[in-house]
Structure 1
């Protein structure tokens, strides 16, 4: 995806009150100082050449210098007032960013926000760094292209509460897509050689502390993983949703569970049952946390103890975003086909869960504490999670659906902030 691209703009214009204008030499010196400092402080940002505006004509020059991929205009007022001129810069298109504690910045930002424009008044360098982080995360979301694998229409018959309008997803969130059939995926799976699959499987087995699935089923699962990676590359996609409940996967005696575990470990969001609501939340969570996500069904376990259960077959092994944790390999629901992973999640870790509604307009966000990790209770991986109010949570879940994405750690504040930046209304439980 690359870095966010920020256009620095330095303004010295319009005397007012006691605000004088610096000399041309002083102005240029200050510009060079600030610009050099920006590049040193924020290496994660691509700063384009600065624009210097000292008259109204400079506004038109700025418009000609901006490119379609400009992610923000960072404005510094180095002399004068220039309220109207600064506001006009914010009306050009890209988000306007102003740094400093001065009330004039808030006046301009409020003017722009009242007119539906995106603008920010950050108070200092630390606050600016935080804004760059969120702009980068949003750009990553908008740079996502999902490979949808299904031979039927969306939503999947096994997840009918899911979002299903792919074009709406593209318009509202900027997430693009490509569609292939399940037959195409399975056809590519059959082309993978035993030798190629064996090399990948040997690496997987080197981390496994228990193996309770046949070599035949493991090789099938690995071949599907290799085929899926090939199709992702061919279609320029960096996320995937597979309608794995389709009968054809049962007929071929294979599931994408292991593939999803491995892909998420590699930073590629992957959703079961072609659930776009869970996938969208997963994309946001993974890009905010830089950790692979869990996905699971959610239900009430104990109202008295405020415990909910969270269960599926696709946990990551790099649960904290770093090295793989030891894991077990099992078949799919003890049905003698497929391959799934179980990872022991330590107790008392914080966890953040989320799901987007079917219109991509709202996101349910909540956090909890892992109280237990079970193998084979419900699906292969099941977590008992203590939440603030389990009854209130499950009542809200009924408005969203049953698959939730999750990452370990408390990212509720960051998730709410990014959701608002993406025009998604956050709801907390």
Structure 2
């Protein structure tokens, strides 16, 4: 990306170039103060073998904003390194002049025993919306460069959503676009009409669907409400979706499933059962055509190599610092591919007499992480926790607008967290994603490489007690 020839903040984040997203080499520009010599540091960057880097350097005067901007304007860079002077009383109006250049800024302080002015400069740049990393040693800066320059964790993965473009029935995302999503995450997203699934479902092999249906029935502890026909139709949809994922190389899929609720004769089976199986098989299957939820699921499943629980945040209890997560799709292999699958009962969808969902009981005491991208994909809200119990609410709701007879979804988990009030003020949206285990360090490193910030509690360890 050529650095802008204006001091105004970047006006179109959708064209922002993130390191690792394209091209054979990540381009670094080191802007060093004229009073210091960066050659040793630059040589250490060149010695990094595992990542293809191209580094350019320019000498600047940090006390002269116009001269500084003139020196960097028009230069191609994916990462800008600000190699500061050893001491200064102030950086003046430089941060106002720089705005947000649209790429990560890595500030390297030269005097780790006297960082107050440098730290203030970094904080001031952040007020412009810039993503700023602050290092107090060359070793720390090199680690940051490696993380920033490595290919992003979701780079080049493909996802498909069946439904209206960025207009989910329950979670619209009109602020996003395909180009912006790729710039932020590396994911190539496409939309397709739900009518395509309706047409293709008619040609699905009944033999494959029968085999899948028998497996669900055989392995279930109990079949409570669903009919044989409902299980078979749900299995047909799984066979279709699995074939689409495999034949076209998709890593993730979603359907605007809540649109089906408003049709007395839904043209498609509810996808809950199919999505549970797909997640167990390593795919991301996100509910309700929720774009941010889909990307969050892809991210956490890629980090953990485990299927995720895509859940509504039903409530936050500030008194006992718990959250209630609930949804109708729960994978059976949440503990990992090598662990025993969770046992399940087959239920209908919210007591409506339609659909099939696997109802599991989450094991109490296990450590989990819940997380989700913010609506603008600029932040990742992440909270460690520990499952307290699976909560069930079987109360009926005869007056519920879309015909729900059971108030909550079939799968529920009460999760103990820290700083519940802070969580409440930073909920990412309707959905948060839960995975078992604590992957804070891996998540942090991956988000650093994606130029995405973290919002979370003051302590990222899970509560010891539930």
TM-score, structure 2 normalization: 0.64
Unaligned runs of 5+ in 1: 1-66, 74-80, 97-108
C-alpha contact 2:316 2:424 (8 A) present in aligned 1: no
Aligned equivalent of 2:363:
346
CA-to-partner distance for each residue in 1:57-116, whole Å, 9 max, x for gaps? xxxxxxxxxx9567999xxxxxxx9655454677xx8359xxxxxxxxxxxx98594499
The 5 Å alignment of 1:9-408 reads 84-87=42-45, 94=52, 113-114=106-107, 139-150=152-163, 152-160=164-172, 164-212=176-224, 213-247=226-260, 251-252=266-267, 254-322=269-337, 323-375=340-392, 378-397=408-427, 400-408=428-436
Distance 1:208 1:133 in 2: 44
Runs of at least 5 residues in structure 2 that lack an aligned partner in the other structure:
1-21, 29-38, 55-80, 84-104, 109-130, 395-407, 458-466
- Post-superposition CA distance 1:137-164 (Å, at most 9, x none): x6541131001111x2313131136874
Secondary structure (helix, strand or coil) at the match of 1:172 reads helix
- Whether the 8 Å CA contact 1:352–1:409 is kept in 2: the answer is yes
- Distance, in Å, in 1 between the alignment partners of 2:147 and 2:238 is 32
C-alpha separation in 2, matches of 1:328 and 1:267: 22
Residues 156 and 187 in structure 2, CA contact (< 8 A), matched pair in contact too: yes
Bigger proportion of residues as helix: 1
Higher strand proportion: 1
- Verify the 8 A CA contact 2:166 2:173 in the aligned structure 1: no
Kept in 2: contact 1:147–1:235 (CA 8 A): no
> After superposition, what is the alpha-carbon deviation per residue over 1:262-320, rounded to whole angstroms, capped at 9, x for unaligned?
11101111111111111111111111111100011113253211121000011110011
Q: SS at 2:214's partner residue?
A: helix
Helix, strand or coil at the partner of 1:315: coil
3-state SS of 2:278 partner: helix
SS in structure 2 of the partner of residue 309 of structure 1: strand
Output the aligned Cα RMSD.
3.6
Distance, in Å, in 2 between the alignment partners of 1:321 and 1:218 is 25
User: How many Å separate the matches in 1 of 2:53 and 2:313?
Assistant: 38
